[in-house]
Amino acid sequence: MRRLEELIPDEPKKAAVASGNEFAFKHSDALIALQIAAQYNIAVLGLEIFEKWPDGLYANGVSTYDANYELSSDWARYVEIMNFEAGKWLAANKEEGNYVYVLTSATADELAEANRLITRKEGLIARLRRYLR
């Protein structure tokens, strides 16, 4: 979500709750983030709802639409589909008050880098397993 975080205006970020290294936005600001993602060809890969309590954030829901789609070579189409599904999920899971939303997003480059790191990690684990046998 690094690129999307850079593009979101200061006002929604100031109103957001820090959740690890991510922002947890109120519903209306999550919609703004989704619009920005679409504008800049960033895929929203999934969302989570958290309820704010004095001692922290508690998970309240998670999207699963991403399991229905595989990454294709047509990044623009993938972004369109993922962000459409994210919008549907946000509309169906509108919570106000003490609820906030975390968007997991990626540019094509960010997702490619994540996949490279996963592949490298899997290779290292396989080598380690062979060594330990």
Q: Residue 30 belongs to a domain with what CATH number?
A: 3.30.190.30
Rounded-to-integer distance, Cα 109 and Cα 127, Å? 27
Tell me, yes or no, whether 13 lies in a domain: yes
pLDDT computed for residue 80 by the predictor:
96
Tell me, yes or no, whether 74 lies in a domain: yes
pLDDT computed for residue 18 by the predictor:
83
Q: Total structural domains in the chain? A: 1
pLDDT computed for residue 121 by the predictor:
80
Residue 124 binned pLDDT confidence (cut-offs 50, 70, 90)? confident
User: What's the whole-number mean pLDDT along residues 39-58?
Assistant: 94
Residue 99 binned pLDDT confidence (cut-offs 50, 70, 90)? very high
Tell me, yes or no, whether 123 lies in a domain: no
Tell me, yes or no, whether 82 lies in a domain: yes
Pairing of the two strands 99-106 and 56-62:
unpaired
Domain extent, residue 87, equals 2-107
Does the pLDDT value for residue 42 go beyond 60? yes
Tell me, yes or no, whether 115 lies in a domain: no
Does the pLDDT value for residue 59 go beyond 60? yes
Residue 57 binned pLDDT confidence (cut-offs 50, 70, 90)? very high
For the chain, give the DSSP string.
-HHHHHHS-HHHHHHSEEETTEEEE-HHHHHHHHHHHHHTT-EEEEEEEEEEETTEEEEEEE--GGGG----S-HHHHHHHHHHHHHHHHHHT---SSEEEEEEEE-HHHHHHHHHHHHHHHHHHHHHHHHH-
Tell me, yes or no, whether 133 lies in a domain: no
pLDDT computed for residue 70 by the predictor:
86
Percent of the chain with pLDDT over 90: 65
Does the pLDDT value for residue 11 go beyond 90? yes
Dihedral sign for Cα 99, 79, 6, 22, please. positive
Gyration radius of the chain's alpha carbons: 17
Tell me, yes or no, whether 83 lies in a domain: yes
pTM, two decimals, is 0.84
Residue 1 binned pLDDT confidence (cut-offs 50, 70, 90)? low
Tell me, yes or no, whether 42 lies in a domain: yes
